[in-house]
Structure 1
């Protein structure tokens, strides 16, 4: 992960902080206690609690390191403070229509808070990069793995 700023919404930052605090303040201490108890039982070579606990502790520590870097490099952006609300920028919720008039609603969010199933796409995704700077009525062609697809911007809103 580079040390460049990572744009994120306030809600996304709060979710990442909550996950960090839950892992660091609750899950990790319980696991350390379990590992200590298992280590005190003698032979560690066939002790499932000890072996699994150590593995899970490494996973938690890796995740904590990643979340820490994300929070350190995060640049919280309030989409509601966008000055030009008729142009697609970070945090915009966009309604799109394709050639068959099939509608799709997407919100452009930070890379660490994207969830395509919920309609939140990463700021750095091909679809988001194609939409940035568009206005209502603009048509954008997006190159996807399945081929090119044309979308028309129907509506733009900010929270």
Structure 2
């Protein structure tokens, strides 16, 4: 599937990162590189070498974000989703041993540095899609098929409010 979906909050975070890098961080590093270059011999100038490398990394990330932001599709909450697992849902599941997991199903760009988010492309998310509370879900894992029960499905209040604002 490799979905190019993102929640509005996730999109806003990527946009903020892009804007920060483009408007603040890149100009700061460009000034340092220019200053270091004006000192003369660049071959032994650590400030120049290090900051030039950093500038290339920033430029690479900016290019990636520009392309990615253009390619992504924002998925806003819809009241029609209530009661079923869809993109953006917070889900609580439990197995027969009583182990409980809680997470949100989001796009692949949103899962980094978040232990409570899973990608829409993951086997767990794919198995949960369109299911309801009390449904039994079989998830294929490297250790075999695992059985989970859906305890709770909810959509964030922030998502609901954002969707209402964007649709009016």
**Displaced runs of 4+ in structure 1, greater than 3 A?**
115-118, 145-148
Deviations 1:98-145 (A, max 9, x none): 121111111111110114744111111121111112111221122234
Corresponding residue number in structure 1 for 2:109:
112
Corresponding residue number in structure 1 for 2:59:
61
Q: How does 1:112-131 map to 2 (within 5 A)?
A: 112-115=109-112, 117-131=114-128
* Structure 1 runs not aligned, ≥5 long: none
Aligned length: 155
Is the contact between residue 85 and residue 131 of structure 2 (CA under 8 Å) also seen in structure 1?
yes
CA RMSD of aligned residues (A): 1.7
Measure the CA separation in 1 of the matches of 2:150 and 2:3.
28
Does the C-alpha gap of structure 1 residues 104 and 5 become closer, same or farther in structure 2, counting only changes over 3 Å?
closer
* Structure 2 runs not aligned, ≥5 long: 157-168
Within the candidate set 12, 15, 36, 1:14 is matched to 12
Q: How does 1:64-103 map to 2 (within 5 A)?
A: 64-79=62-77, 81-103=78-100
Deviations 1:38-85 (A, max 9, x none): 111111111101111111111111111111112101211112x14141
